[in-house]
Structure 1
Amino acid sequence: MGLHSMRQRSAPGGTAEPAPKPSGYLAGRPSTRSALAISSLLALLACAPALTTRPATATIGEGQPDRTVTAPARGTSSANFSRTILPGSRLRYAGSIPEGQIWRPVGWVLLAEGRHMHEAYVVERDGQWIGFYLPVERAFSPLASPPTLRTETSS
């Protein structure tokens, strides 16, 4: 007997009747739909690949004017998660790594997603968004297919 069928309460007149079962339960067990949803979520989380990264020592820099993105740029990480940098997004020069220039988002947060979420900066080379610089990890993560990054100098 399940826990829910053992509990009883007194009805008027002294007779006992079973306590109502919580919603979402069938015969004391979670519903099949709930169990399937939880199992699917756990499977997806367990299968999310980690980002491909390599150590990157950044040279900190200043002196370049901020840039504003003028056209959407959609990049897909090595873990197959996409991010779009929208027009009007502002970027501030933060330095460089051998792969390219590092641009820090201003007033917004860029996250690189894989098995974990990582704060990320934009790495740009020759007008293309080529990857993420992960400042906490001090690492570079390349994009699967680098899009064009159209920007103009901010005033």
Structure 2
Amino acid sequence: MFHRLTGAAFAAVLLLAAGCASEVTRQVIDAPVATPQAGKRFTLSQPASFRLDSGYGRTVPAHAEFAGVGRIAQGLVFRPIDIVLTVEGKHMHEAYAVVRDDTLVGFYLPVEKAFSPLSQTTPFLLIERKQ
């Protein structure tokens, strides 16, 4: 009886562990370097949907506003202004969009000073707002 109960308890723990969200993939990097886009405002021209490796998906709405922050090796970094952008896995992380060639390639995580790549990139056309 004791062995059956132990086996059942072990199986239950394995099932619970399998159901937990995975950690967000990230690489620690240096802070973004200023660029001519830093401080300028941009608007997303069309909605952009993406799915993280952790399984969570998001859609950034058209007309969402971003401010240029700078550049990291992976692309230009844009901070969301009028929306909250997060990436989720085991934990939730504040995120800035990282864009290369009008494509969302991942996220800069400002608290962790890290880059979280997207396995599948998506179009992310930002248009500079005229002041």
TM-score bracket for this pair, using the shorter chain length: 0.7 to 0.9
Secondary structure at the counterpart of residue 92 of structure 1:
strand
Superposition map of 1:25-104 within 5 A: 43=16, 47-61=20-34, 63-64=36-37, 65-104=40-79
Structure 2: segments with no counterpart, 5+ residues: 1-11
Tell me, in whole angstroms, the C-alpha distance in 1 between the residues paired with 2:35 and 2:82: 18
TM-score computed with the length of structure 1 as normaliser: 0.68
Contact 1:118-1:134 within 8 A present in 2 as well: yes
CA contact (8 A) 1:60 1:95 kept: yes
Shift of 1:63: 4.1
The answer for the alignment partner of 1:137 in structure 2 is: 112
Give 1 or 2 for the bigger CA radius of gyration: 1
Offset at residue 109 of structure 1 (A): 1.1
Q: Which moved more, 1:53-62 or 1:78-87?
A: 53-62
Root-mean-square deviation over aligned CA pairs = 2.1
Q: Is the 8 A contact 2:67 2:78 kept in 1?
A: yes
Give the number of the structure with larger relative contact order, counting CA–CA contacts within 8 Å between residues 6 or more apart: 2
Q: TM-score scaled by structure 2?
A: 0.79
How many correspondences in the alignment? 115
For 1:150, the equivalent position in structure 2 comes to 125
Range moving further from structure 2, 82-91 or 60-69: 60-69
